[in-house]
């Protein structure tokens, strides 16, 4: 998806690590993303700073699940 897309518009249930991993994939491809969740205002991702900020604010279990699904190349800290 990230390779073919111009940008990402993701609707998130607040639980799925796969949706969040797609944001990382889009950022790595040089593309922006907007995350829409059920309880929060839409959140824009345009830079590695936005990714790091989101990751720091999410539950540790979610961060762990995202890392488990990511490839080592995807999880490398330099986006």
pLDDT tens-digit series, residues 27-73: 999 999 999 986 778 999 999 899 999 999 999 999 999 999 999 98
Q: Provide the pLDDT for residue 79.
A: 58
Q: What is the pLDDT of residue 41?
A: 87
The ranges assigned to domains in the chain are 8-69
Question: Own/partner pairs for 47-55, CB < 8 Å, 24+ apart?
Answer: 47/79, 48/78, 48/79, 51/23, 51/24, 51/27, 51/79, 54/20, 54/23
Q: Give me the pLDDT at residue 3, please.
A: 78
How far apart, in Å, are the Cα atoms of 43 and each of 11, 26, 35? Answer: 11, 14, 5
The pTM is what? Answer: 0.87
Q: Give domain 8-69's CATH number out of 1.10.3210, 3.40.1620, 1.10.15, 2.30.30.
A: 3.40.1620
The Cα 42–Cα 61 span in angstroms is 22
- The average pLDDT across 6-14 equals 92
User: Which pLDDT score is estimated for 5?
Assistant: 86
CA atoms within 13 A on the CB side of 19: 13
């Amino acid at each position: 998806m990230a390779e073919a897309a111009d940008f990402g518009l993701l609707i998130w249930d607040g639980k799925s690590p796969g949706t969040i991993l797609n944001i990382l994939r889009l950022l790595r491809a040089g593309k922006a993303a907007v995350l829409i969740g059920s309880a929060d205002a839409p959140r824009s991702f345009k830079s590695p700073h936005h990714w790091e900020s989101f990751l720091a604010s999410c539950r540790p279990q979610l961060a762990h699940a995202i890392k488990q699904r990511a490839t080592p190349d995807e999880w490398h800290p330099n986006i």
